[in-house]
Amino acid sequence: QVQLVQSGAEVKKPGASVKVSCKASGYTFTGYYMHWVRQAPGQGLEWMGWINPNSGGTNYAQKFQGRVTMTRDTSISTAYMELSRLRSDDTAVYYCARDSKWLRVKYYFDYWGQGTLVTVSS
Amino acid sequence: DIQMTQSPSSVSASVGDRVTITCRASQGISSWLAWYQQKPGKAPKLLIYAASSLQSGVPSRFSGSGSGTDFTLTISSLQPEDFATYYCQQANSSLGTFGPGTKVDIK
């Protein structure tokens, strides 16, 4: 069965960076784009970007350009999202989510990780 | 950028009620729309994709319709496990923009 297991909660100071991991199992990791979505406390969902695990190509939402880096390690079927220059309004649950289409990006997310809470506080 | 709106922002309903949620895109997105259900403390769950296609394993009481700029999610007979927040998401542009959500709670 498809599973996405994310790393644990993080507490960071403003200005620091955080790197969240998402380990995939139960499917061919390189066959499906991986997206990252975040949700601030009590707020809605915000799409951050995607990575093509096959090529390593990325597409980031303009809001996060210059601060976010998405990478992957195909040897361990794991995707990563690193966000730098953290601010208090980056406090949120960060989700990885698999795109539903084989080798294409369709923005339909059929499997999600359990979420990783990142708290930014001085 | 395409903006998504939803109405109502919240709805109170009883078990067995028919519930309809509307989503509007700021420009035409053909049928490139998905609906998700999210329960507190849980990750979202894909219900509908391509505006009207039911995701595998999702009960048939959920249905979606619409194209262009106006879309609806209908729950034909609300069940206790359906009390949750529902989000639409456009999949037309290279941005996966979500709507602000509609909370369905118990009347």
* Per-residue pLDDT tens digits for B33-72: 999 999 999 999 999 999 999 999 999 999 999 999 999 9
d(CA A107, CA A73): 22
Interface membership of A63 toward B (CB under 8 Å): no
Using a CB-CB cut-off of 8 Å, the residues of chain A touching B100 are 44
- Record: contact B98-A47, CB cut-off 8 A: yes
- What's the gap in Å between the CA of A31 and the closest CA on chain B? 19
Can you count the helices (H) and strands (E) in chain B? 0, 10
Q: Which amino acid is at A108?
A: Y
d(CA A119, CA A100): 30
Nearest CB to B98 within list A46, A113, A115: A46
Interface membership of B61 toward A (CB under 8 Å): no
Read off the DSSP letter of residue B52. Answer: T
Interface membership of A104 toward B (CB under 8 Å): no
Quickly state the pLDDT bin for B96 (edges 50, 70, 90): confident
Interface membership of B96 toward A (CB under 8 Å): yes
B95 to A30, A47, B67, B100: CA distances (angstroms): 21, 7, 18, 15
- Record: contact B34-A45, CB cut-off 8 A: no
pLDDT value at residue B106: 86
pLDDT value at residue B95: 80
State yes or no: pLDDT of B32 exceeds 90.
yes
- What's the gap in Å between the CA of A73 and the closest CA on chain B? 24
Interface test with A, best of B98, B102, B103 (most A CBs within 10 A): B98
Quickly state the pLDDT bin for B107 (edges 50, 70, 90): confident
Cβ(A113)–Cβ(A38) below 8 Å: no
Pairing, β A10-12 against β B84-90: unpaired
Q: Say what percent of chain A tops pLDDT 70.
A: 100
SS3 category, A23: strand
